[in-house]
Structure 1
Amino acid sequence: MVDANNSIKTSILGWMVLCSLVIGSHCLSDSDYPWTYRCIQDTKDGPACQREETESNSTEKVPFNICILTCGPYASLWPYPSGRVELGQTLTGFVLDRMVFSPASLPGESNETLFRMVGEAESIFNGHIRALLPENHVDPPIPVRNVVIQLNIELSDTKLTLNTDESYNFTIISALQQVSVTISGKTFFGVRHGLETLAQLIDFDSERQHLQIVNSVVIEDKPMFRYRGLLVDTGRNFIPVSDLKRLIDGMSYNKLNMFHWHITDSNSFPFDARRVPQMIKYGTYGSEKIYTPEAISEFLVYSNQRGVKVIPEFDMPSHAGNGWQWGEKEGLGELSLCVNAEPYQDYCIQPPCGQLNPLNNNMYNILGELFRDFLDVFDKDVFHMGGDEISFKCWLKYPHIIEWMETNNKTIMDLWGLFQENALTKLKEANDGRPIDAIVWTSEMTSHAREFLSPDDYIIQIWSKATDDLSTGIYQDGYRVIFSNNDTVYLDHGYGPWRGNYVNPAVLIKTWQVIYANDILGQVENLVGREKMMELYESGKLLGGVATLWSEKGDKYNMDMKMWPRGAAYAERLWSNPPSRLNVTQLAYPRLIHQRERLVQRGIHADTLLPEACRYIWGFCDNNYS
């Protein structure tokens, strides 16, 4: 399994003697433990490393993390590759100073931005490998062996889009004095994923005191879904950009590529809209809880570098309260209705209420200015317009709305349609007429009034249950679709109500097993049949999914543990699309536990999945009641 020689043994024994002399009899090194680890292929959960006792000074001992590098068809890889995977069963030792990048092969038209991004990706990778080494580590004498990494990129793309090719090919070939790693992809973003894969094939061997790399690898990999995302809500509870960066880091470690930023809500409007400064004056929790264009711009660069596109959601016409109260004071009339109205049950689904006034032309002018502010900062190819939980009760409280409906012989759905058409027009105008994809949540409109939502303009994000047959018409009409089923991927569920005492069974916690089993293609097939499902998938209409973390009871302090490692489970579902016929944990559980440890090692405060002892004595903790 691993290289070993007498000089290494002598060096380790020497360090142990020094430790004993300096620290005393309580000094204990990894070499003192009597355990070695062996890959067991046929545990209940597939291949896993299991502890066995051996002589404490044996040079053949294999640490747990080193065993994992070659255990099973996917070893320590997360998410597992969707295509060809050939992993060698032996390792090669090396020291960090001998790992180098050859000059990257870039397209002839490559630009300064691409060159910088490649250099930064190499730096991030080096940081991950360096972090594997113990503090004050000194390399032992081992045979000279270079690890040379070659990156090949075909296209000059530097922005992630809905159509970016994220595939990559990957090889490791080992010779006597050199390990050659080649990562090739159409775009930077595919090659970046390849670097993450490489980092998962390297670890520090505490027995031999040097790094180990799998010495023979062939991988052909690409995501099964192009849209693989997480949502965080910063409208209800503010989350600083520094903490959102940590979320982006976690996404990059799991090859997730879309951050759905629910940035505004009726609770607050923390986006610093320079054309409409009244919004943050009336809509923020305090001067330090604002997202400035400068901070957002830097955050977008940070995210793009790590293979993540940031998609803002400006929720409307509902979920638009605080921030909109100033209209009457400035002679513009009520821009939003029912703002902070009580009792809230008479006006909206949850407090505080607020819903834009669809018959106030000044509101549309303000909306257009806000769109311009958003598009000055965020990418201009896709924008989330919200569109869920519209309260008819709110609008029907106002005489001018009832009068308009009666005079024009219109329904409440016609009024909503009027708003949607005007809002989309303002969005397109703000984008100077360039094409832009608008995303909306499923709603009464997507169920019963899709004539207001052209499939050419809109992507529909489904948040109803996976079995909800109201989605059937959306599939039949050929919309592009994103899945965020509330019965499977709502990460905020399960922590108790934030008002009242009633615990709704529908909002129990979504375990990683439920999330991992959320078979997107299967749920579509169940509603429209396999032939139609395959037609939608192959034509790119089934974009992917987003797991959501609404923040009624979430903030920067508990975001990580609610998001991870369940978000990692969803990442493998979206990247690899595991066959639904497999046991949900087959080939996943041991690797997910190791991925959780990797996240923690890299600074993510991920929730734990099991008692630590069970990780090391895999198989002995198995029963239906654990």
Structure 2
Amino acid sequence: MIFVRAVVIACLIPTSLGLWPQPQESKHGNKTVWLHPSAKFTYETEPAEDVEVTNYFSPFGGFDGVRDFLQIPWLMQDHHGDKPLPSVDRLIRNAIKRTQKEIRSSKFVPWKFHPRNELFEPVQNKQDAVIRQVNIREKATNIPTEKIRDFIEGSENYQIKISADGEATITSDSPIATLRALQTFLQLFYTHSSGSGIYTPHAPISITDAPKWRYRGLNLDISRNSFMPQDLKRTIDAMASTKMNRLHVHATDSQSWPLDIPSMPSLAAKGAYHTGLVWSASDLWDLQLYGLERGVSVFLEIDLPGHTASIGYAFPDLVSAFLEEPWHTYTLEPPSGQIKLNSSAVYEFLDKLMDDLLPRVSPFTRYFHTGGDELNLNTYLLDETVKSNNSETIRPLLQKMVMHVHNKIRDAGLIPIVWEEMAIQWNLTLSSSSSSSNKPDVLVQAWRESAAVKKVLEKGYRTIFGPGDAWYLDCGYGSFFNPKPNSTTVRRPFLDWCAPLKNWRYMYVYDPLAGIPKDLQPLLEGGEAHMWSENVDPIVMDAMIWPRAAAAAEVLWTGPRTTEHIQDASYRLGEWRERAVIDSGVGASVVQMTYCLMREGSCEA
């Protein structure tokens, strides 16, 4: 009798689509539909003809053999040396094949999400429907195609329908919407533990989806500790699965300059921690293409004029207060040093840097971040071109330098991004005289606290949110400083400035719209979670980023969440985490105890 009752209770437990981020609208049933091992994915674009996606032998290193070789229009005209960029059409067709492969190779069996010993898996039989073809229909798009990067800016609206009899259709507004739909489609299916097939237990399924914000980012610092391309590629895979679309690479800082600048080879040769930890031009090219293929725009931050001590290892004459002691007189973190503000040699360096770097990144992204945070004014007492720590003296020099670099960025067809201090603390004029309200000329990133978001918006700038009191992933792991004897600054328990740790639930209920008047909300471009790397390296990065960044990703895609959403979110995020660990090799932290995920009893308090 007890056994029978347990079975009845298990059957009454509601099931939901384990999708992350949550779609805007979804409906589902409880019929099992199997995905045929040889199911065809067709891709129809208006007004092009329907073409079956087939795996071709590829002797040309990543393209589809004879078909790409013969059809010249399939290749764009952007080049890096002898490296051609694939067309948008080719990117999507490759993404379809990648999705097929990932679904078929998945090892994810969702046993954690059912009561223990429950027979939750369907029995494969001839009565269940089978998906033999997935039809992808993409509407015509008017987005610019001059550069392949532009496809990411298209409409991301899509629909997925899977009928109880096995008819599967994806309808999308653009190539990037097709990519987002594929990322959702993959999450609808599970692998049977017997190895007998792949199925969804939720048919019929109807999903209509679109993002809340266009900018959904992660900031990763690769300069304070060393990270290599494979670490960021793994991060991009996880970002893509949560529909994040901007990877902001904080590429250089005072501690190291790991980025090779071919026109100035000594910069990384002397500024990186080790010659084996330098990112080559080819590394950067490959990473940006890898991101673009997955719908993630990878862009760089070269922080200026602060956080620039590492330039001094190669060019000491360009840096004021380089390695000066005591360091805390001249900077917030060692080593001290900032590029000089009124030096013609510095301007020559910046021009050479931008002329080298901007043409290499512009094929892949619309953005370039120039930093601008945490200037130390005492540094300029030692700058012979300034000899002052008076902000009124420094401000016009800062204005001149920022606008000079931003104009170079605009000339390269990119949008500059700066930290909030440039707008709030220094009150610089950041938009160019030719800027249009319909096209963002500069983006300002608010970081210190939630209140800063409103301050930036009130100045009329398009704004990226992600403040330290909500979305800083490095908080709560402790200070990296060692205490001096009898120190009154670094004391037990040696906390960092933004402690405590922001767990996934806290990040999940951060409301970017709280306190923001409705008339200012259209200026919110989106947001970023931040992973600063004083206490992070490739060994621990996955567990520190995920699943907390995924919690931020749902806020960015679906919209603000509340505490009422947390219970359901724990199951869906838990399922995302299992897929990430099992199928993508992402070492994400635990979302919730297995007992809670099994829904055997309440884990609410």
What percentage of aligned pairs have identical amino acids? Answer: 28
- Cα distance between partner residues in 2 of 1:614 and 1:85: 24
Task: Say yes or no: does 1:180 pair with 2:167.
Answer: yes
SS at match of 1:145: strand
* 1:601 positional shift: 1.5
- Deviations 1:182-229 (Å, cap 9, x if unpaired)? 222222111111011111111123379332123322222111011101
The residue aligned with 2:84 is: none
The residue aligned with 1:79 is: 21
Contact 1:160–1:189 (8 Å) recurs in 2: no
- Cα distance between partner residues in 2 of 1:369 and 1:446: 26
- Deviations 1:53-107 (Å, cap 9, x if unpaired)? xxxxxxxxxxxxxxxxxx13xx21111112x32222222134322x211243255
The residue aligned with 1:535 is: 519
Change in Cα spacing, 1:561 to 1:370, as seen in structure 2 (3 Å) is same
The residue aligned with 1:263 is: 251
* 1:493 positional shift: 1.1
The residue aligned with 2:89 is: 115
SS at match of 1:568: helix
* 1:134 positional shift: 8.6
Change in Cα spacing, 1:134 to 1:310, as seen in structure 2 (3 Å) is closer
The residue aligned with 2:113 is: none
Task: Say yes or no: does 1:598 pair with 2:575.
Answer: no
- Cα distance between partner residues in 2 of 1:145 and 1:471: 50
The residue aligned with 1:218 is: 206
The residue aligned with 1:388 is: 373
Task: Say yes or no: does 1:515 pair with 2:482.
Answer: no
Contact 1:364–1:423 (8 Å) recurs in 2: no
* 1:534 positional shift: 2.5
- Cα distance between partner residues in 2 of 1:520 and 1:85: 24
Change in Cα spacing, 1:399 to 1:336, as seen in structure 2 (3 Å) is closer
The residue aligned with 1:132 is: 106
Which amino acid is 1:90 matched to? K
Task: Say yes or no: does 1:245 pair with 2:233.
Answer: yes
Task: Say yes or no: does 1:95 pair with 2:74.
Answer: no
- Cα distance between partner residues in 2 of 1:133 and 1:439: 41
Change in Cα spacing, 1:162 to 1:317, as seen in structure 2 (3 Å) is farther
Which amino acid is 1:145 matched to? V
The TM-score with structure 2 as length reference comes to 0.81
The residue aligned with 1:461 is: 445
- Cα distance between partner residues in 2 of 1:133 and 1:514: 31
The residue aligned with 2:473 is: 491
* 1:299 positional shift: 1.1
- Cα distance between partner residues in 2 of 1:504 and 1:521: 27
* 1:508 positional shift: 1.3
What is the aligned-residue RMSD (CA, Å)? 2.7
Task: Say yes or no: does 1:167 pair with 2:154.
Answer: no
Contact 1:325–1:336 (8 Å) recurs in 2: no
- Cα distance between partner residues in 1 of 2:497 and 2:310: 31
What are the residue-to-residue correspondences of 1:147-162 with 2, within 5 Å? 147-153=132-138, 154-155=140-141, 157=145, 158-160=148-150
The residue aligned with 2:120 is: none
Change in Cα spacing, 1:219 to 1:511, as seen in structure 2 (3 Å) is same
The residue aligned with 1:23 is: none
Change in Cα spacing, 1:212 to 1:339, as seen in structure 2 (3 Å) is same
Contact 2:107–2:582 (8 Å) recurs in 1: no
SS at match of 1:77: coil
Task: Say yes or no: does 1:556 pair with 2:498.
Answer: no
Change in Cα spacing, 1:36 to 1:372, as seen in structure 2 (3 Å) is farther
SS at match of 1:367: helix
- Cα distance between partner residues in 2 of 1:327 and 1:134: 52
Of residues 577, 598, 623, the one that matches 2:559 is 577
* 1:39 positional shift: 6.3
* 1:371 positional shift: 1.2
Which amino acid is 2:97 matched to? S
What are the residue-to-residue correspondences of 1:323-472 with 2, within 5 Å? 323-327=311-315, 334-379=317-362, 381-398=366-383, 400-402=385-387, 411-429=390-408, 433-443=411-421, 445-454=422-431, 456=435, 457-466=441-450, 468=451, 470-472=452-454
Contact 1:339–1:355 (8 Å) recurs in 2: yes
The residue aligned with 1:7 is: none
- Deviations 1:391-427 (Å, cap 9, x if unpaired)? 0111123454237x9xxxxx52442442343343244
Contact 1:428–1:436 (8 Å) recurs in 2: no
Task: Say yes or no: does 1:201 pair with 2:201.
Answer: no
The structure number with the bigger radius of gyration is 1
Contact 2:323–2:335 (8 Å) recurs in 1: yes
SS at match of 2:185: helix
Which amino acid is 1:462 matched to? A
* 1:123 positional shift: 1.9
The residue aligned with 1:67 is: none
Which amino acid is 1:205 matched to? H
* 1:37 positional shift: 8.6
Change in Cα spacing, 1:215 to 1:421, as seen in structure 2 (3 Å) is same
Listed as ranges, the gaps of 5+ residues in structure 1 are 1-33, 42-46, 48-70, 329-333, 406-410, 525-532
Change in Cα spacing, 1:473 to 1:563, as seen in structure 2 (3 Å) is closer
SS at match of 2:216: strand
SS at match of 1:95: strand
Change in Cα spacing, 1:125 to 1:399, as seen in structure 2 (3 Å) is closer
- Cα distance between partner residues in 1 of 2:12 and 2:396: 60
Aligned residues: 526
- Deviations 1:251-280 (Å, cap 9, x if unpaired)? 011010000100100111111111122211
* 1:167 positional shift: 1.6
- Cα distance between partner residues in 1 of 2:453 and 2:124: 61
Change in Cα spacing, 1:222 to 1:37, as seen in structure 2 (3 Å) is farther
Contact 1:368–1:430 (8 Å) recurs in 2: no
Contact 1:282–1:324 (8 Å) recurs in 2: no
Q: In terms of mean alpha carbon deviation, does 509-518 or 120-129 score higher?
A: 120-129
Listed as ranges, the gaps of 5+ residues in structure 2 are 1-5, 50-72, 76-86, 110-122, 436-440, 483-490
Contact 1:168–1:194 (8 Å) recurs in 2: yes
Contact 1:481–1:544 (8 Å) recurs in 2: yes
- Cα distance between partner residues in 2 of 1:352 and 1:436: 31
Q: In terms of mean alpha carbon deviation, does 157-166 or 376-385 score higher?
A: 157-166
Change in Cα spacing, 1:426 to 1:134, as seen in structure 2 (3 Å) is closer
* 1:115 positional shift: 2.9
Contact 2:251–2:259 (8 Å) recurs in 1: yes
Q: In terms of mean alpha carbon deviation, does 293-302 or 259-268 score higher?
A: 293-302
Change in Cα spacing, 1:246 to 1:263, as seen in structure 2 (3 Å) is same
* 1:560 positional shift: 0.4
Change in Cα spacing, 1:453 to 1:162, as seen in structure 2 (3 Å) is farther
Change in Cα spacing, 1:556 to 1:505, as seen in structure 2 (3 Å) is closer
SS at match of 2:464: strand
- Cα distance between partner residues in 2 of 1:37 and 1:271: 58
Contact 1:266–1:353 (8 Å) recurs in 2: yes
